Amino acid sequence: MSQKEQLKLFEDKKVRTVWDDEQEKWYFSIVDVCNVLTDSKDYQTARKYWNKLKERLKKEGNESVTNCHQLKLEASDGKKYKTDVADTEQLFRLIQSIPSPKAEPFKRWMAQVAAERLEQLQDPELSIEQAVADYRRLGYSENWINQRLKSIEVRKLLTDEWKRGGVQGQQYASLTDIITAAWSGHTTKEYKHLKGLHKENLRDNMTNVELLLNSLAEASATEISKNENPKGYGQNADVARRGGNVAKAARTQLESQLGHSVVSPLNAKDYFNSLANEERKQIGVPDDDVSSGPLSEPVSPQ
């Protein structure tokens, strides 16, 4: 099942959702929905409410409960746990069993979420517009956003080449590690550790220069692959390494001019804060006179 986990907001509360590409439907975390509709003080209270409701509905023979299944969703501690989820139809039936003044507004919200995703499937440009809006909300600069969107295009071209060359499953991650290590000196895991990341997306925590070098590595590997038509993992691994080395050469030349490494331990939160500090210095505002704003928000996991 090809899935994409997202975090949606209803008013000021979070609802974890998963989009299933094959079935073309959303799955919603039932505990999160109970938390919204019952105004629970915490998730533990919402979980207890759901357990009691589940027992009652099972006794009543409600199939909407017996058909609900579990998916691993990320919790507040960054780890993923099996969580009861329901699709839109199941959730509509469950909401009927929860007395709440928020029931109708929540159902309209659910319908809107589903409709927006279906529209994005018909018009990919809408997905891009949503991504831009999300990055702006998190505090990214327009220059960074443009570079990030370009990097997504470059990555897609590379994975298409790998697929054509017979790459499968976990081999995509292994080839990514080869490219990343070739130009940066770090595997993906090591790179994330350098930046203090856990579940967060590495590219969403790269500086502009890091994104450019990573895109150069992947674009180079794509062009070499088109030229040589490699087959199987071994040949594609050699191409990936050579593509990464192109970016390594560019990195080495740039660092010789700068006098410092461009592979940065800064993550998005640190990077935003550094930009904000520069802006404050330019207008002569002391750091302790400005409270942390949108630029200090951490990046949500993807």
Helix (H, G, I), strand (E, B) or coil at 17: strand
Q: Across the strands, what pairs with 17?
A: 6, 28
From first CA to last CA, the distance across the chain in angstroms is 17
The pTM of the full predicted model, rounded to 2 decimals, is 0.54
DSSP 224-246: HHHHH---HHHHHHHHHHHHHHH
Tell how strand 69-74 and strand 80-87 pair up. antiparallel
Taking all residues of the chain, what is their mean pLDDT, rounded to a whole number? Answer: 79
Q: State both tokens at 90.
A: 């199941």
The pLDDT of residue 113 is 60
How many Cβ atoms from other residues are within 10 Å of residue 156's Cβ? Answer: 12
| CA–CA distance, 225 with 242 (Å, rounded to integer) | 10
Higher pLDDT, 245 or 60: 245
More confident residue, 191 or 97: 191
Vertex 141 angle, CA 139 and 144, to 5°: 120
Q: Residue 202: pLDDT above 80?
A: yes
Count of CB atoms within 10 A of residue 232's CB? Answer: 12
Burial class (CB in 10 A: 0-12, 13-18, 19+), 42: exposed
Question: Which pair of tokens denotes residue 279?
Answer: 């802006």
What pLDDT is attached to residue 231? Answer: 95
The tens digit of pLDDT for each residue in 90-126 reads: 887 787 788 777 777 776 666 666 555 544 444 444 4
Q: Is the pLDDT of residue 234 over 80?
A: yes
In sequence order, the 6+-apart residues with CB closer than 8 A to the CB of 26 are 17, 18, 19, 20, 87, 88, 110, 113, 114, 117
Give yes or no for residue 262 having a pLDDT over 90. yes
Higher pLDDT, 284 or 42: 42
Nearest CA among 278, 144, 142, 164 for reference residue 228: 164
pLDDT 10s digits, 133-168: 777 877 788 888 888 888 988 999 999 999 999 999
Percent of the chain beyond pLDDT 90? 31
pLDDT digits over 246-259, tens only? 999 999 999 999 99
Q: Check if the beta carbon of residue 26 is closer than 8 Å to that of residue 117.
A: yes
* Cα 99 from Cα 291, distance rounded (Å): 41
- Pseudo-torsion of CA 166, 301, 95, 38, nearest 10°? 160
DSSP conformation letters of 82-105: EEEEEEHHHHHHHHTTS--TTHHH
